[in-house]
Amino acid sequence: MIDPALVAERFGTPAFVYDLDRVRAARTDLATALPEEFEIFYAVKANPHPDILRELRSVPGKATRAEISSTGELEAALAGGFAGADILYTGPGKTAGEIAEALSAGVRLFSVESLGDLRRIGATAASAGVIAHCLLRINSATSSASTSIRMTGTPSQFGFDSETIPEISDEILSVPATKIDGAHFYSLSNARDEESLVAELLHTIDCAATLQSQLGIAFELLDIGGGFAAPYASIGERPLYSNLGAALRSALDANFGGWREGAPKIAVESGRYLVGDSGDLVTTVVNLKDSRGKRFVVADAGINTFGGMSGLGRLLPVAVRPREDGRPADQKASLVGPLCTPGDMLGRDIALPALEPDDVVVVPNAGAYGPTASLLMFLGRPAPVEIVVRGGEVLGATRLRHTRENVRAIENSALPTEVGASA
């Protein structure tokens, strides 16, 4: 990674620095951990930067595909070199307009969350004269891992409740202009350890085999989800999963005998693992504030720049990379941003070196869920610069812009009032 002081001097702060060499290394490590027959979907929500998308597309071996949940992510994926046929469209709130736009771009694969979602996709596909290929997202009634971030087993807007499938299978299979290709699971995020990850994915494979039997069809594609971990805004390294591949092969051999020949194809998806350790957030100390025995280090990066959910206490605390000048992180202080809200907190009472105004500090492992996962528009401050490097060389620097566009020319700007309303 390039010198953060030079980043601050040349580009200003706050700034994200993304190292494409690390993106490539993560993609290679994940592929190595998995059976070679597996497909990998990249969750574009993790970081939709076009250079990162292009890098993931270019890694040798089986091509990475894209998982998206909006037409904005569709645009990013297409700009990053993904064809419509490479894309899986997910999400519980797909509108007819969004589905139509995806179909017109060549997307044919959709993750379906409910009967209503399936019928909307089918109606839109019928209007376009095409067939939509669908994966049933499943909210399993049971799970294996009791730690990490659970995504199933409770009432949820995500997925068909698994116990309802037998009673509605005929309805699922009879929606015009749709074809059920298989299933989509995503039951775990950021697994605590390899044992938890393996146990959950094996449980998913068992559930998928039961589902296939209940539907009475042969799956063509099974997406077993992810859960691959990576440190987020903290000091640490990505895990390497040495036992995962063998465990998956054994479970699939027992449940889906033809999977090695592509019947069904097996896929996983990942966001943070592929890009999390590729990025650093570089920020500058603006001010120091002592209040009732507590120290606050005020930086120019806040929840509008990084980890907007930090203000809700969801992602605290961040860490700061040790300084190259040898100053030890032996003081406790809160790292806060410049916004006019007490929620602008990046780290509460975290270990920091003795800092002064204009010092540059670095938050490591910030390549996932950065600017586009933050409160970017809040208080109208400029978006951070995003810098892409390879081999220590800067390839480009960009900044997202806050813009407003007219979506429709209106001849008469007056809106009709309700009957009886006063002017």
pLDDT given for residue 351 in this prediction: 93
pLDDT of residue 310: 53
| Domain match, 128 and 239 both | yes
Report d(CA 295, CA 323) in Å as an integer: 19
Find, among 261, 267, 87, the residue nearest to 183 by Cα. Answer: 267
Residue 289 lies in a domain: yes
Measured CA angle at 399 (ends 7, 81), to 5 deg: 110
| Burial annotation 38-66 (CB, 10 A radius, 16+ → b, else e) | bbbbbbbbbbbbbbbbbbbbebeeeebbb
Mark whether 324 and 216 lie in a shared domain. Answer: no
Cα separation of 28 and 20, whole Å? Answer: 12
CB atoms within 10 A of CB 158: 19
Q: What residue numbers bound the domain in which 46 lies?
A: 20-274
Do 158 and 291 share a domain, yes or no?
Answer: no
Structure tokens at 40: 């990998």
H/E stretch holding 331 reads strand 331-336
The answer to whether residue 1 is domain-embedded is no
Q: Do the domain assignments include residue 7?
A: no
The reply to whether 197 and 287 lie within a common domain is no
DSSP track, 104-122: HTT--EEEE-SHHHHHHHH
Residues 254, 284 share a domain: no
What pTM, to 2 d.p., does this model score? 0.91
Question: Do residue 210 and residue 339 come from a single domain?
Answer: no
Asked, for residue 209, whether it belongs to a domain, the answer is: yes
Whether the bond between 14 and the residue before it is cis, its omega within 30 degrees of 0, is yes
Q: Using alpha carbons, select from 165, 164, 243, 238 the residue that is nearest to residue 201.
A: 243
Res 7: pLDDT: 95
Out of 274, 291, 316, a domain closes at: 274
pLDDT digits (tens, 9 = 90+) for 232-255: 999 999 999 999 999 999 999 999
Give the tens place of pLDDT for each residue, 89-104: 999 999 999 999 999 9
**Which amino acid, residue 258?**
G
| 3 within domain boundaries | no
What pLDDT sits at residue 150?
47
Q: Does one domain contain both 266 and 122?
A: yes
pLDDT score of 38 = 97
CB 16 within 8 A of CB 386: yes
In this prediction, the residues of the chain whose per-residue pLDDT falls under 70 are 141-156, 158-159, 308-316, 402-423
